[in-house]
Chain A
Amino acid sequence: MRTIRFLLEKEFRQIFRNKAILLMIMVMPVMQLIVLPLAANYEVKNINLSVVDHDHSSYSQKLISKVTASGYFKLTGYNGLFKEGMKLIETDKADLILEIPRGFERNLVREGHQQLFIAVNAINGVKANLGGAYLGTIIRDFNNDIRLQLLPPLKFDGATVIEINSSNLFNPLMKYKFFMVPGILAILVTMIGGFLSALNIVKEKEFGTIEQINVSPIRKHHFILGKLIPFWVLGNVVFTLGLLVSWLVYGIVPLGNLVVLYLFASVFLLAILGFGLLVSTYCDTQQQAMFIMFFFMMIFILMGGLFTSIDSMPEWAKIVSRFNPVSYLIEVMRMVILKGSSLRDILPQLSTVGLFALVLNAWAIWNYKKRN
């Protein structure tokens, strides 16, 4: 136990000695947490729409004003030729073209049937999907308006209707930031913990100081614990800073219990730090450790369900993501912060991550060899 105290004292001294890095560790995540949710915004509004109106009728005007009034679309072009609308798409000035054919109003009234053409720049899938869907809904509404106007009231009442009463739980204002902030905080904590721990042991190898440790009677698990604890503390500090930023900047107050949140974050940190130390024991240079860690981080983050839903992944990817500690952190952060989930609710995730922590650290201790 006494050995660990000396190890901790030394690690903390080294951390505090390098003020530049310490500052980076503290300031970078805070800055990023402030900026990233503003940038990582999938809240699809302001979709650029270019209207090609061949009809110039009162109906076409009504439709256009209904579309622009919805708040989802920004009219960036109004032309009489499809070619010109297309040019806007090519230069990325428009995402969608709504083409209203000649005789739109006349045909609709006389023949009761008329087509509209929508062309979507589908390179960006999310925009294409949501933009198309929104435009579809608006046109449907517009269609109903016209029917109400044109049909005798009785006849329309006769149709069967199912009213859909939908409510948006946990985030009634549908703020995308509420969704992103806990996820981004999870990523930042992961990155800080993972990279610092991965670089640490390997740094001692590179500088040769590990020799002096290896030739001493230090127990292997003491050495690993001595590395684990300082970064664990640091990780918790960064996590706390992150929670403060989300409260002060975004007004996000965890709905669930803070103790539950910290408990999970603590166990998660043990797991990701263990992973970092494990990578560290396998590497010879900092450059190598960083690169390998980066490789895994990338997979962890991309497949962690931050931007895209894990449910939508193919079967093999779902299995892979079950071994991804980051996916559990992102999930639990959102659960506890936004939905107010309790300890009992997150118990399965907690025990899985706890198991990761155990296995990874044991593996790191096993693979740290004082003799080769």
Chain B
Amino acid sequence: MEQFINFVKKEFAHVWRDKKTLLILFGMPVIQILIFGFALTNEVKNSEIIVLDQAKDQASQQIIGRIAASRYFHIQSSVMNKEKIEEAFKQGKIKMAIVFPAGFNETLLHQGKAQIQILADASDPNTASMLTNYVSSIIQDYLNSIDKTAVIPYSIVPEVRMLYNPQLKGAPNFVPGVMALVLMLVCVMMTAISIVKEKETGTMEVLLVSPFSPLLVILSKAVPYLILSLINVASILLLSIYVLDLPVNGSIVLLFAESTLFIITCLSLGIFISVKTDSQQMAMLISLMGMFLPTVLFSGFMFPIENMPYPLQLISNLVPAKWFYIIVKSIMIKGVGFSAIWKETLILGSITVVLLAVSLKSFKIRLA
């Protein structure tokens, strides 16, 4: 046991000495929380648009005024002809163009029916449909305002309630995601690489011939990352509570217990990769391309899993981060207890056991 503690101390010294890596290790969650919390938003706002007003009358100016006042749009200086519109689209300067035909107001007043043309850049289809929706409702509002006297009969008024996240903040969605991502990164990549590095430089053999169980050698490499990861979990939670105003609705103890389980899953994955590879570059490529991207994709925090084709949905079940994401979301946001997440916990636990068993087995084969 004393020996083991000495080994852990040695590994800690390694991690501690590399200040650049350490800085990034602890800086990563902070930056991610900042980016997700303040820079990225799923809302569409301040979209650059262009208006071609061939009417220049009261009605067109009023509608343009309403559009300009909306936070969804930013109108660029108006243009005079359609060729300019095409050019602006191709230079990526605008996302939408609105064209008012000549005599817009007059047609509206006399015929009670006028046309507006909207050209949307559908290379980004979601933004295009949202923007079109926004313009439609602005125009609808305008119509209602000029026609105040008319009472609209038979109206259905939908009343929308946003559950859990009334301000539609991104935080409830991404904080659990960032947690999964950072833990995955620190544990899988760092352990895999630090073990493979010992293989590459030949120091692994020195450790293996020592009268010390090879299993403990590997474990001692994992312990520092386990502790670093728990510190990261704590810092993410603190940031989320105090900077993003997102409290933990469920039990913090349960959250830490589940995080520890997930960290162990990741460490096993890292050990597994390190057993299977011989060079740092290979270990890195596998943990990065093979583990990181799938984590981003299949955990469900950036992309809805139910939108994926069925085979991918099946694959997503193999990604540990998916289960952890569900668990964290349930505890943090919905505030449920263990009874609601025992299934996910069980799955995560099984994945861990399988990974550990397989890597231990191939580790022994290598030694023999």
Inter-subunit contact A294/B185 (CB<8 Å): yes
How many Å lie between the Cα of A282 and that of B96 in the bound state?
A: 44
**A39-B303, A114-B157, A166-B132 given as contacts; is B40 within 8 A of A308 (CB)?**
yes
How many Å lie between the Cα of A120 and that of B39 in the bound state?
A: 24
How many Å lie between the Cα of A313 and that of B38 in the bound state?
A: 8
Shortest CB distance A303–B (Å): 6
Inter-subunit contact A299/B115 (CB<8 Å): no
How many Å lie between the Cα of A14 and that of B285 in the bound state?
A: 17
Q: Which residues of the other chain, B, contact A20 by a CB distance below 8 angstroms? A: 282
Shortest CB distance B367–A (Å): 22
**Pick the contact of B42 from A92, A117, A126, A139 — CB < 8 Å?**
A126
Inter-subunit contact A295/B303 (CB<8 Å): no
How many Å lie between the Cα of A122 and that of B334 in the bound state?
A: 12
Q: Which residues of the other chain, A, contact B242 by a CB distance below 8 angstroms? A: none
Inter-subunit contact B307/A45 (CB<8 Å): yes
User: Which of A156-164, A234-242, A261-269 lies at the interface with chain B?
Assistant: A156-164
CB of B32 within 8 A of chain A?
yes
Inter-subunit contact A307/B154 (CB<8 Å): no
How many Å lie between the Cα of A157 and that of B284 in the bound state?
A: 68
Closest residue of B by beta carbon distance from A147:
B154
Chain A 294-322 interface residues, beta-carbon cutoff 8 Å to B: 294-295, 298-299, 302-303, 307-309, 311-314, 316-317, 320
**Pick the contact of B46 from A92, A312, A316 — CB < 8 Å?**
A312
Chain B 107-125 interface residues, beta-carbon cutoff 8 Å to A: 108, 112-125
Inter-subunit contact A309/B44 (CB<8 Å): yes
**Pick the contact of B116 from A24, A89, A162 — CB < 8 Å?**
A162
**Pick the contact of A38 from B108, B124, B312 — CB < 8 Å?**
B312
CB of B211 within 8 A of chain A?
no
How many Å lie between the Cα of A128 and that of B185 in the bound state?
A: 30
Inter-subunit contact B168/A286 (CB<8 Å): no
**A28-B289, A303-B35 given as contacts; is B116 within 8 A of A287 (CB)?**
no
How many Å lie between the Cα of A281 and that of B225 in the bound state?
A: 26
**A308-B42, A334-B123 given as contacts; is B159 within 8 A of A115 (CB)?**
yes
How many Å lie between the Cα of A123 and that of B276 in the bound state?
A: 39
**A165-B116, A168-B125, A311-B95 given as contacts; is B130 within 8 A of A291 (CB)?**
no
CB of A43 within 8 A of chain B?
yes
CB of B43 within 8 A of chain A?
yes
Inter-subunit contact A48/B130 (CB<8 Å): no
Q: Which residues of the other chain, B, contact A89 by a CB distance below 8 angstroms? A: 163
**Binary interface profile of B, 155-186, with partner A (CB < 8 Å = 1, else 0)?**
11111111111101110110000000000010
Shortest CB distance B6–A (Å): 22
**A42-B303, A295-B28 given as contacts; is B45 within 8 A of A164 (CB)?**
no
CB of A352 within 8 A of chain B?
no
CB of B339 within 8 A of chain A?
no
Closest residue of B by beta carbon distance from A98:
B158
CB of A362 within 8 A of chain B?
no
How many Å lie between the Cα of A243 and that of B357 in the bound state?
A: 41
Inter-subunit contact A162/B281 (CB<8 Å): no
3 A-B pairs with least C-beta separation:
A168-B122, A317-B39, A122-B162
Q: Can you pick out 30 interface pairs between chain A and chain B where the beta carbons lie within 8 Å of each other?
A: A21-B285, A28-B289, A32-B293, A39-B298, A90-B334, A120-B161, A122-B162, A126-B126, A143-B156, A146-B154, A147-B153, A158-B112, A162-B139, A162-B142, A163-B113, A166-B132, A170-B89, A170-B121, A174-B122, A288-B20, A290-B193, A291-B21, A291-B190, A292-B20, A299-B35, A311-B46, A334-B92, A338-B123, A340-B90, A345-B87
Instruction: Give 9 new A-B contacts, CB below 8 A, not counting A44-B126, A160-B112, A162-B142.
Output: A109-B154, A124-B304, A143-B154, A147-B154, A164-B135, A167-B118, A292-B20, A295-B31, A317-B39
